[in-house]
Amino acid sequence: MAETKFKVNGEERVVESDPSTPLLWVLREQLKLNGTKFGCGIAQCGACTVHVDGAPVRSCSTPLAAAAGAEVTTIEGVAAEDGTRHKVQAAWIEHQVPQCGYCQSGQIMSAVALLRDNPDPSDADIDDAMRGNICRCGAYGRIRAAIKSAARA
């Protein structure tokens, strides 16, 4: 079994696993980071979104090998080190976005990446960045409002 080294939420990690294993299952089952969710397995729903070297990716369809040597950020690593919520998380609470909440880790990871690259997104920018994330509770209006609120924060 091959060894893969990478950083997760700032910490060096070494895992022994088939390098073709999707990053999602390594995060969840080996590193016990359960905030990243399984939704479809084919990069259609965005529930598994994490950042690899800053870019939002669908971890269900990203092999572990692609994360070798990279910096991975998951929902558990979004808040500041002192525990202060990220402005996107705070806006999510302010707008009472989550309902069942299952898709929200992925939604938040997509939104954090959007605002880092584009601090003042238009509606069309939000559509582009967020259309890969399905929410079956239909919180889209609140997601949009929360992103705009976080952009102003």
Residues engaged in binding other proteins (CB under 8 A): 18, 21-22, 25, 29, 32-42, 44-45, 47, 74-76, 78-79, 85, 89, 92-93, 96-105, 108, 126-128, 130-144
Distance of closest approach, residue 69 Cβ to other proteins, in angstroms: 22
Cβ proximity of 57 and 110 under 8 Å? no
Structure tokens, 57? 């990716």
Which candidate, 148, 91, 109, places its Cα nearest to that of 125? Answer: 148
C-alpha–C-alpha distance, residues 142 and 145, integer Å: 5
- Please, what is the minimum distance in Å from the beta carbon of residue 56 to other proteins? 15
Q: Which is nearer to other proteins, 21 or 149 (CB)?
A: 21
Least distance (Å) between residue 92 CB and other proteins: 5
Q: Token pair of 25, please?
A: 């299952």
Distance in angstroms (rounded) separating the CA atoms of residues 59 and 50: 6
Q: What are phi and psi of 135, to 5 degrees?
A: -125, 110
Q: Is 117 left (phi over 0), alpha (psi -120 to 50) or beta?
A: alpha
Shortest distance, CB of residue 118 to other proteins, whole angstroms? Answer: 16
